Amino acid sequence: MTTLSSSTKHSDLLHCSVTPQKMSPVAQAAVERTLQLAQSASPVVEKSSELYQVAKARFAALGFPTQKMEDWKYTRLTDFLQHEFALPVAKVTLSINDIEPYMPDFPVYSVVFVDGYFAPNLSDEMPKGVQLRQMQTGEPLLADAEDYLAEPFAALNLLLAQSGVVLEIAKGVQVDLPIFLLQVNTQPHTTVQWHHQVKVVEGAEVQLLQEAVALGEAMSSPVWNNGVMDISVAENASCQQLILQRLPETHYCFDTQFIKQAKYSRFHSYFVSTGGKLCRHQNHLLMADESVESVQNSACIATGQQLMDSRTDTTHGSTYGVSRQLHKFVLTDQSIGVFDGMIYVDRGAIKTDGQMDNKNLILSNEAKVNAKPKLEIYADDVKCSHGSATGQMDKDQVFYLQARGIKKTDAVALITQAFALEAVEEIASPNLKKLAQQAVQAKLDGIF
C-alpha cells in the first residue's frame, strides 16, 4: 500500500504566496526583533536554501500566530511578545557539580546542552552501537518542508536554531540505559533554540529522557525555549520517551516533535508538564506503514496564571495500526489548559484502532480548559473513538474518604493524585515511571 506523507494534509506551503497580515505595534516590533536575531544567527539550515528563505518570508508577512488562527484560538501570546530576547552571547562552561542536582538517581547516558549548545565535557560517551554527532549546516531534515512551515514555531526554529545533535541507534542494538538529553539554560532574556534528530534503525530499542532546566539568573528571568525533535522509528524498532517540563514560571516553552514510524515499530511518548509560564507541546506522528503501535500520553498540572497547551496530530497511514492516547489536566487558581488532538485515518488504512481520551479536573472557579478532540476517517472497517470530560471534584468521592477518617484536604489530594498519575501509569521502565510520578507529586504537594 502506498501511504501519504503527513504534509499531504497541508497545502504546498513551500511554493504558495502569502498575503502580509496587519499586526499590532507590539507584534510588529516582536517580528522585527526576531528577524534581526535571524540575521545574526548561524542556523543548522542553510540560509541560501529555499526552505530557509520561504520560512523567513512567511514569518515576515504573517508574524507570530494570533488568536484569529484556529490552532491558536486559546493560546495567547500577548505577554510573550512583550519581552525582548537575545541569542546566547557565548558558550558558558559548567562543571559536573553544576548539573549534578538535575541528574536522575539511576544510571543514564547523558547528553548535555548549555544554552542550546552541545557540551561534550558534561556528556557521557555513548555505548557501542549508538552514534552521537553534532548536526551540520545543511543537514538533511527528516520531516517534509511543509510540516515545518505549517507550525509557526517550528518554522521559526529553522531561522534561529544554531545547534543540535543527531542520535542514531544502529540496527538491532538494544540500549541498556536511558539516554538523557538535558538542556541547561543559564542566560537571562535569551532564546534557546535547538533541533535534534533521533534515528532508531531496524530492530533497535532505545529509551529517551528529556528535560530543560535553569541555573543562575535564568531561574528568575524570561527565557524563550523553542525546540524541534525529529524522530524516525524503523521497521520493528522501539522508542520509549519521557519528556519532563519543570521550568521556572518565567519561561516560555514551545516544543514540536515530528515522528515517523515504519512497519511493526513501537513509539510510546509521555509528557509531564508542571512548569513554565506558557508551555505548548506538540506531537506530529505519522504511522506510515502496517501494524504500527503508538502511545501518546500527557499529564499537565497548572497553577497561578500558567497556560499549558498539549497537542497531538496522529495520522494512521496504513493498515492494522493501533494508537492510544490519554491526556489529563489538573488546573487551579487562574490557570488555563488547552488540549487539541487529531486522529486522521488515511484512505485504505483498514483495521485501524485509534483511541484518544482527554480528562480535565478543575480545582478552582477561575481555572479554564479548552478541549478539542477530533477524528477524520477516510477508510472503512476501523475502530476509532475520542472523548473529553471536564469537571470539578466529585463530592461523593470526597465524602467516601472522609467517612473513613481521612481529612477533607487529604481526601482531595489523594483523589487528585490518582487522577493525574493515571497518564503515566503504563510507562514500561520502572525508573522513568518513578521519575514521572515524582514530578507529578512534587507539583501537587505545592497545591495541597
* Complete DSSP assignment for 337-393: EEEEEEEEE-TT-TT-EEEEEEEEEE-SSS-EEEEEEEEEE-SSS-EEEEEEEEEE-
Label each residue of 301-315 as H, E or C: EECCCCEEEEEEEEE
Beta strand 307-316 pairing with 238-245: unpaired
Q: E strands of 186-321, at which residues?
A: 191-200, 205-214, 223-233, 238-245, 251-261, 266-273, 278-287, 293-302, 307-316
| SS3 at position 25 | helix
The pLDDT score that the predictor gives to residue 7 is 46
Regions of the chain with pLDDT less than 50: 1-7
Burial class (CB in 10 A: 0-12, 13-18, 19+), 338: buried
Asked if residues 331 and 364 have their Cβ atoms less than 8 Å apart, the reply is yes
The pLDDT score that the predictor gives to residue 2 is 35
The pLDDT score that the predictor gives to residue 11 is 59
| SS3 at position 333 | coil
For residue 104, give Cα distances in angstroms to 107, 181, 243, 426, 437.
Answer: 7, 12, 13, 20, 13
Burial class (CB in 10 A: 0-12, 13-18, 19+), 116: buried
Torsion angle of alpha carbons 165, 170, 171, 173, nearest 10°? -120
The pLDDT score that the predictor gives to residue 10 is 58
Task: Look up residue 42 and give its amino acid.
Answer: S
Closest CA to 250 of 224, 273, 280: 224
The pLDDT score that the predictor gives to residue 311 is 98
Cell numbers describing residue 330: 489538573
